[in-house]
Structure formats: structure tokens, C-alpha cells
């Protein structure tokens, strides 16, 4: 083999090695941060860990920190996260008759607890989350501590490391407000179905004090309004008065989050107003959130509900749901 051939072969090996390296780096990154979830622009992964439940990563981009669980973003220290937290917390707090005791299922690093603690009448917050690494980061990781104002370290907060359903089933407590902020159910995480089921909502109904209110995060509904409709039907079947609402908080990206407000009594949602000073949730904005745009108002069979034994919401999210 002449020198030219040897050089060409060597060069080809280098190209192949670079390609293999880039391929496996991409595969590695996607196992912690899905491509469609990556932060805009240049970013660096500053932490990655495997908890008993999922792969966890923290990325930093332009001074903003992003927390990922199994590739999906859970928390970002930015304005959009503030808006989301205001929507899921201050609506049920305004609708509830009392606000002394609050249960958060899916408390994560503590952004919802931060907003709950802004109410002087709150005496106790029970913050339930399954993942010990995420909770520990909420208590000790400086960027998250600064963003959540150390909410999980507040003496009024009791952090519980347990599955939300298991905790509620074994608890004798009752609460004035319940906030459910969980990942979407999927075929890869079938246990989550039981945290969105009519059976679970019926159980939660027995755990609310008279005049209580509950808020449920209903994911990004911009492209799947059926998901919001299915949760509304499920909560209604459990015996609640249900008012769906939304927050198109990143209009430029056409992202619209859905929520359901569930109460034990009828509530005039158009008369609700924030009870504490907030950055983004004005009285007018709150009223507009309950006026669902046309694209979110879909026909839905009220008998089609999530149960402990079906995969309705996972089918809706995956596009596999078909009406009979």
C-alpha cells in the first residue's frame, strides 16, 4: 500500500471515529435531554445523575438553569416558570374558602411551594415528590434555592418522599387546597395513570376540607385539547365542580398550558382575583384564562374518563386515541 493510500485510510478512520463519537454523544445527550427539549442556543450540561426513578440533568444557558427528568424539562429559572407557577397556585388559592393547609403532589424543586408560602395564613404545606435527588436539589442547589427562595427548607413545609397516591391513601389528614403538578401519563410510566384516575380524584375529594379547591396541571394543550377535555370529564365524574382554564404564556411559541380548577361547591370563576401581589396574574388576565378559546373547546364523550385500569390519557398524548 503506498503512502497516499495509507494516508487516505488513516483520514477515513479519523472521520469515522469523529462520526461515532458525535453519534454516541448525541445518543447520550438525548437520554438525558430530548432533542426537542434542548435549551435554545449554546448550553452546557452541568449535572447529570441517575435517581432510583429517572435520569436527571441540569443544563445552563445564558444564566438560566434547566432541570430535566428522563429527557423532559421540569423546571427553568425563567419568567415562563414564574407565570406557570402563578397559574397553578393562585387560582385554587383564590377559589378556596380557607388556605391554612396545602398539599402539593409533584412538588419538585419547590417552585409551587414558593408561591403557596406567599400567603400569611398558610400554616402547613405538605410537599410530596417521588424523586429524592430532585427534592435534594431543591433544598441545596444554589440556582434553584435562589429561584424558589428556599421554599422546601421553610419550617412550614414538610417534604415527603413517596408516591403521591400511596401517600394520600395512607394519610388521615385533610387540606384546604390541593395542587397536582405531575408529569404526563405515558405508556413508559404506566403508574402515573393512577394519579390521574377517577378513583384517585374521588379519594382526593374526601381529603379536601369544606370549601376546598384543587388545581390539576393538564400539560401543553395547544396541540391536544382532547387531553384537557378528558381530565375535565374525569374530575367531573369524581364528583367535583370543574372549571378548565389556560395560560398561553409563551405566545410566540404557540404554547398554551391547560389546568382544571376543581371545587366542592360552585364557584363564580369570573369573579376570582389574586389575593396576594403577583407579577403576571392580573384580575383581568385571570378572568380571560377561564374564557377558553375556540381551539380548546372540543366535543368529548363525558363517559370517556381515565380509570385505574385504562390508558386513556396516554393514548390521547400519543395520538393513538380513537373515538368509537
Structure confidence at residue 2 (pLDDT): 58
Contact at 8 Å (CB) between 321 and 315?
A: yes
157-161, strands of its sheet edge to edge: 157-161, 124-129, 101-105, 175-180, 208-220, 255-263, 241-250
Alpha-carbon torsion angle 106, 173, 197, 294, nearest 10: -70
pLDDT, tens only, 166-184: 999 999 999 999 999 998 8
Dihedral sign computed on CA atoms, order 303, 305, 310, 311 = positive
Identified catalytic residue from 181, 268, 301, 303: 181
pLDDT band at 20 (very low <50, low <70, confident <90, very high): very low
In this prediction, residues 145-165 reach a mean pLDDT of 97
Q: What angle do CA 83, 274, 67 make, to 5 degrees?
A: 25
Structure confidence at residue 285 (pLDDT): 87
> Is 16 a residue whose pLDDT tops 50?
no
3-state secondary structure of 319: coil
| Interatomic CA distance for residues 290 and 309, integer angstroms | 31
| Interatomic CA distance for residues 36 and 34, integer angstroms | 6
Structure confidence at residue 317 (pLDDT): 87
> Is 90 a residue whose pLDDT tops 50?
yes
Give residue limits of the domains in the chain.
Answer: 3-76, 79-318
CATH pick for 79-318 out of 3.40.710.10, 3.40.50.150, 3.40.350.10, 3.30.70.3040: 3.40.50.150
> Is 30 a residue whose pLDDT tops 90?
no
The mean pLDDT value of the chain amounts to: 87
The reply to whether 301 belongs to the active site is: no
pLDDT band at 254 (very low <50, low <70, confident <90, very high): low
pLDDT band at 14 (very low <50, low <70, confident <90, very high): low
In this prediction, residues 179-192 reach a mean pLDDT of 88
Structure confidence at residue 258 (pLDDT): 92
Structure confidence at residue 137 (pLDDT): 95
In this prediction, residues 305-324 reach a mean pLDDT of 86
> Is 114 a residue whose pLDDT tops 70?
yes
In this prediction, residues 199-228 reach a mean pLDDT of 93
pLDDT band at 28 (very low <50, low <70, confident <90, very high): very low
Structure confidence at residue 24 (pLDDT): 37
| Interatomic CA distance for residues 94 and 154, integer angstroms | 22
Structure confidence at residue 161 (pLDDT): 97
| Interatomic CA distance for residues 273 and 201, integer angstroms | 26
pTM > 0.85: yes or no: yes
> Is 1 a residue whose pLDDT tops 60?
no
Smallest CA-to-CA distance from 248 within 288, 210, 278 is with: 288
Smallest CA-to-CA distance from 260 within 136, 92, 132 is with: 92
3-state secondary structure of 73: strand
Range with lowest mean pLDDT among 4-13, 37-46, 63-72, 138-147: 4-13
Smallest CA-to-CA distance from 115 within 90, 95, 146, 137 is with: 90
> Is 251 a residue whose pLDDT tops 70?
no
Helix axes 225-237, 198-206, angle to 10 degrees: 50
> Is 217 a residue whose pLDDT tops 50?
yes
> Is 23 a residue whose pLDDT tops 50?
no
Amino acid at each position: 500500500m503506498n503512502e497516499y493510500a495509507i494516508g487516505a485510510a488513516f483520514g477515513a478512520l479519523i472521520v469515522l471515529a469523529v462520526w461515532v463519537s458525535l453519534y454516541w454523544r448525541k445518543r447520550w445527550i438525548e437520554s438525558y435531554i430530548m432533542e426537542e427539549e434542548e435549551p435554545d442556543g449554546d448550553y452546557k450540561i452541568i449535572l447529570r445523575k441517575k435517581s432510583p426513578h429517572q435520569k436527571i440533568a441540569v443544563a445552563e444557558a445564558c444564566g438560566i438553569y434547566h432541570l430535566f427528568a428522563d429527557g423532559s424539562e421540569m423546571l427553568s429559572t425563567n419568567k415562563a416558570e414564574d407565570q406557570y407557577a402563578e397559574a397553578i397556585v393562585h387560582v385554587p388559592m383564590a377559589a378556596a374558602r380557607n388556605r391554612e393547609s396545602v398539599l402539593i403532589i409533584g412538588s419538585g424543586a419547590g417552585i409551587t411551594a414558593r408561591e403557596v408560602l406567599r400567603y400569611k395564613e398558610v400554616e402547613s404545606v405538605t410537599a410530596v415528590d417521588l424523586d429524592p435527588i430532585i427534592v435534594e436539589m431543591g433544598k441545596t442547589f444554589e440556582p434553584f434555592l435562589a429561584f424558589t427562595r428556599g421554599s422546601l427548607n421553610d419550617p412550614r413545609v414538610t417534604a415527603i418522599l413517596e408516591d403521591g397516591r400511596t401517600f394520600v391513601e395512607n394519610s388521615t389528614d385533610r387540606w384546604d387546597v390541593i395542587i397536582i403538578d405531575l408529569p404526563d401519563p405515558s405508556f413508559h410510566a404506566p403508574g402515573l395513570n393512577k394519579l390521574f384516575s377517577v378513583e384517585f380524584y374521588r379519594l382526593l375529594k374526601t381529603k379536601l376540607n369544606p370549601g376546598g379547591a384543587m388545581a390539576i396541571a393538564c400539560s401543553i394543550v395547544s396541540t391536544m385539547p382532547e387531553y384537557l377535555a378528558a381530565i375535565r370529564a374525569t374530575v367531573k365524574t369524581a364528583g367535583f365542580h370543574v372549571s378548565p382554564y389556560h395560560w398561553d404564556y409563551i405566545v410566540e411559541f404557540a404554547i398554551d398550558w391547560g389546568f382544571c380548577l376543581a371545587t366542592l361547591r360552585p364557584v363564580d370563576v369570573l369573579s376570582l382575583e389574586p389575593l396576594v401581589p403577583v407579577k403576571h396574574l392580573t384580575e383581568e388576565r385571570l378572568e380571560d384564562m377561564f374564557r377558553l378559546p375556540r381551539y380548546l373547546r372540543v366535543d368529548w364523550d363525558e363517559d370517556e374518563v381515565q380509570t385505574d385500569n385504562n390508558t386513556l390519557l396516554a393514548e390521547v398524548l400519543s395520538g393513538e386515541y380513537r373515538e368509537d
